[in-house]
Structure 1
Amino acid sequence: MPDSETDNVAPMVLIVDDDRMQGRLIGDVCSRIGYRSVFAPSYDVAAELISSTPFSYVTIDLALGDRDGIELLRLIAQLQVRPRVIVISGCEQRILNAAVRLAHSTGVCDAVALPKPIELAALRKALTTAPCDCSTLRRPVREPAVITAADLDHAVSHGEIYAAFQPKIELATGKVIGCEALARWDSATLGPVGPDLFIALAERTGAIKELTLQILRSALRLAGEIGRDDATFVVAVNLSATLLSDPTISEDIGRLLREAGVPARSLMIEITETTAMGDVSLAMDTLLRLRIKGIGISMDDFGTGYSSMSVLAQMPFCELKIDRSFVSHCLADPDLWKVVASSVAIARAYNMTTVAEGIEDVATWQALAALGCDGGQGYVFSPALRHDGFRAWRNAWNAELRVKGPPASQTLRKA
């Protein structure tokens, strides 16, 4: 919070607009709710004020003559204590939405947009919403761990890398329909090592196959255990670009299924668009072999690349996973909601099931269920858990589901 608020002084608002009449209108609203305001008719004046005065709120017109409000957003992002930003503009709504997304991406976590002409009630609401302390949401920047091939070999051979399972839920019913097996590394010397570091190293050093087969064994063990009382349960495992071009990988996966005594229908292989486009011919060869065996193929992170539709049309996918970058804020951003809704419609046209990643609240769960999205993953259900933790969580979830039913289905039944 800015000092003006912590000292019980009326919040200070900076009004940045090259239209003085508009500035007076906003200033009048500020006065009526007991705020102080300062008017800046240009970028230069606003920049000087921002650098010297702590503000609780800043209203910004995107068009500021020779300069624009985007430059000001970037300047605000550099502040240690950031005000609530209210973007006000006569630009089309999609530009306003994009400006807010840009603000969020630069670290201005508390930003909203209002179109011109301003609705005074909406402006009042935006000004009376307490600014959040963005500094508490910023994660401390840590130097990435320096890991070597020897570290990775030790981790693979000593079981430091293990499978953690994130539940996959049928959104309409709340049923646990499967999980995604995610590789995790807790090093005795390095601490937790992110998959973005060790997966890339495994691909460079040739350790990725053994690592993936290890995760597959763990996943199939879980599938075999749960499959005894739920034959529809499916585990998903990610396949890297390196392995997708390995002509023997489909036979290796088939062998692991036989050894585990798990039917092929209980396994889903997830690949990203980038992975599929590495070598289309080899990728198609491997994916077709897997599908012929009865193994499911899921397109992960749909919509995040440049060739999503091309890959979708060419490859034999049976599931489409909508990336969390679209799902997490889809209720607050109409453009993101359109992407999510379109993705569900596209999957339906291809006779594929859809899974939304990154569901973090019940409201999003309910909205996606009403839209017709089939499945979901996210913290509203559970983070990824180790084997025993997942089994315990599933038992507790099923017990509660039998008693209360899922929030999403309760809402849908009432509708």
Structure 2
Amino acid sequence: MQVLPLRVLVLEDHLFQQTVAVNLLKKLGCQAVFSASNGTQALETLQRVGAVDIVLCDLRMEGMDGLEFLHRVARVGLVGAVILSSSLSGDVRQAARQLVTLLGLPLLGDLGKPLHADALNELLQKHLHNPRSIPTRLEPVELAPAGEVRSAMQHHQMETYFQPKINLLTGEVIGVEALTRWNHPTQGVVSPAVFMPAIESCGLLNELLFSQIKHGLALARKASSQGHVLNVAFNLEPVQLSNPELVSVIRSILCSFGLPASSLTFELTESGLLEASATCLESLVRLRMIGCRLSIDDFGVGFSSLQRLCQLPFNEIKLDREFVRGLGHDPRCEAVINCTLGLGKALGMSVVVEGIETSEQYQQLLALGCVQGQGYFFAKPMTEHDLLAWLTTRANPEKNV
């Protein structure tokens, strides 16, 4: 019998089905298999035995159910990936699959019930051979200390990276999204998940934004000298809109670079705009008045998307990447993309599709009529120097031969 270097937790309240799942996993060669009858027991098991590679998770059970359990383990990083196994209806399971992904947990698949050895083994092998699943011993994200982040800001260690936005029909680069990375002197490039909470708690969001804008406009000016007109997009937190000086500072920066406000797009997530104050709304209107573009980001994953579109002066919709991931195997994802494209057209808004990672997704989106998108299929976020070189290579493909 093959031995799989996998630690698996079975969360199942039906004792017979739990026993079947445990025995099946052992028969397939899993190195260590643990079991629990509800979420509370499962958390206690993880605290006792440590992290597992996979949890085979039922959803409906007495006490702490599967959903609450997944919420909790997503925060503490004790599970590498999830396989759902439930007898609930297809639409409920589909929503649960979406939730798992939104929680940041890799979803290997949804097997339903009863379990079949071949299907289960296929998912186990998928996990073993997926580079993204290694290492599987997840550790909670250790947040950077506030003092260290302040020092990093003072010593200009925060660098702006840029991810291109592409016209899917022509391949033309129409803009870039600005993203901050911390070039730590000893740890290398640090993820925003580590330092952004400290940036917010220290009240440094505006300082970071204004620095980003200067970097972005410097890039736009250099790109323009090479014949590329780039719009630069920045993530804007709703709390920043309450600053009455926000728009005047942005206008001042634009004037210092001699570039029009149409060079800038500000992306705001719909979830942060549930209760927009008068000052926030005034800032949004003023940004539009001076010529900036406003984009509603992660469209479709919140609960007030349509209300936000009606109330606030957006002129771009960024469709969340989860709908692209569902293309080809979930008809409802295709329906959402179609409806969003129609909505954008009806409201006079452009639609940007996020998370394009494969040629197949690209072709499917073209067939649906998508015009703008971004994702790793085209390019990952890169430094200003690398982006300008990348643009030159695209403009002169013979140089890459």
Q: Which deviates further from its counterpart, 317-326 or 93-102?
A: 93-102
Q: What is the 5 A alignment of 1:354-373? A: 354-373=351-370
1:82 Cα deviation (Å)? Answer: 10
The residue number in structure 2 matching 1:213 is 210
1:64 Cα deviation (Å)? Answer: 11
Unaligned segments of structure 1, at least 5 residues: 8-41, 117-122, 405-415
Tell me: CA distance 1:310–1:125, structure 2 relative to 1, closer, same or farther (3 Å).
same
Partner of 2:326: helix, strand, or coil?
Answer: coil
State whether structure 2 residue 275 is matched by structure 1 residue 281: no
Match among 15, 18, 39 for residue 47 of structure 1 = 18
The residue number in structure 1 matching 2:35 is none
CA offset digits 1:283-326 (Å, max 9, x no partner): 22111111111111111111222221111111111111011233
Cα contact 1:324–1:356 (8 A) shared by 2: yes
Distance in 1 (alpha carbons) for counterparts of 2:329 and 2:358: 12
Give the number of aligned pairs: 355
State whether structure 2 residue 329 is matched by structure 1 residue 332: yes
CA offset digits 1:244-293 (Å, max 9, x no partner): 11111111111111111212212111112234345332222111111111
The residue number in structure 1 matching 2:48 is none
The residue number in structure 2 matching 1:132 is 126
1:84 Cα deviation (Å)? Answer: 11
Q: Which deviates further from its counterpart, 131-140 or 172-181?
A: 131-140
Partner of 1:331: helix, strand, or coil?
Answer: coil
Q: What letter is aligned with 1:217?
A: K
The residue number in structure 2 matching 1:200 is 197
CA offset digits 1:183-240 (Å, max 9, x no partner): 1112225554432343332232222211111110000001111123546421111222
The residue number in structure 2 matching 1:300 is 297
RMSD over aligned Cα atoms? 4.1
Tell me: CA distance 1:231–1:392, structure 2 relative to 1, closer, same or farther (3 Å).
closer
Cα contact 1:169–1:376 (8 A) shared by 2: yes
Partner of 2:26: helix, strand, or coil?
Answer: coil
Q: What letter is aligned with 1:140?
A: L
The residue number in structure 2 matching 1:376 is 373
CA offset digits 1:343-372 (Å, max 9, x no partner): 222212211001111111111112112222
The TM-score, its normalising length taken from structure 1, stands at 0.72
Bigger Rg, which one:
1
Partner of 1:54: helix, strand, or coil?
Answer: helix
Tell me: CA distance 1:84–1:165, structure 2 relative to 1, closer, same or farther (3 Å).
closer
The residue number in structure 1 matching 2:34 is none
Cα contact 2:268–2:297 (8 A) shared by 1: yes
State whether structure 2 residue 197 is matched by structure 1 residue 226: no
Cα contact 1:322–1:354 (8 A) shared by 2: yes
Partner of 1:133: helix, strand, or coil?
Answer: helix
Partner of 1:154: helix, strand, or coil?
Answer: helix
Match among 262, 270, 275 for residue 267 of structure 2 = 270
Distance in 1 (alpha carbons) for counterparts of 2:94 and 2:345: 28
Tell me: CA distance 1:245–1:345, structure 2 relative to 1, closer, same or farther (3 Å).
same
Cα contact 1:145–1:190 (8 A) shared by 2: no
The residue number in structure 2 matching 1:144 is 142
Unaligned segments of structure 2, at least 5 residues: 5-12, 30-55
Q: Which deviates further from its counterpart, 310-319 or 93-102?
A: 93-102
CA offset digits 1:71-111 (Å, max 9, x no partner): 9x98xx9xx9999969696x754245345556777967432
Percent of aligned pairs with the same amino acid? 29
Distance in 2 (alpha carbons) for counterparts of 1:319 and 1:236: 11
State whether structure 2 residue 349 is matched by structure 1 residue 352: yes
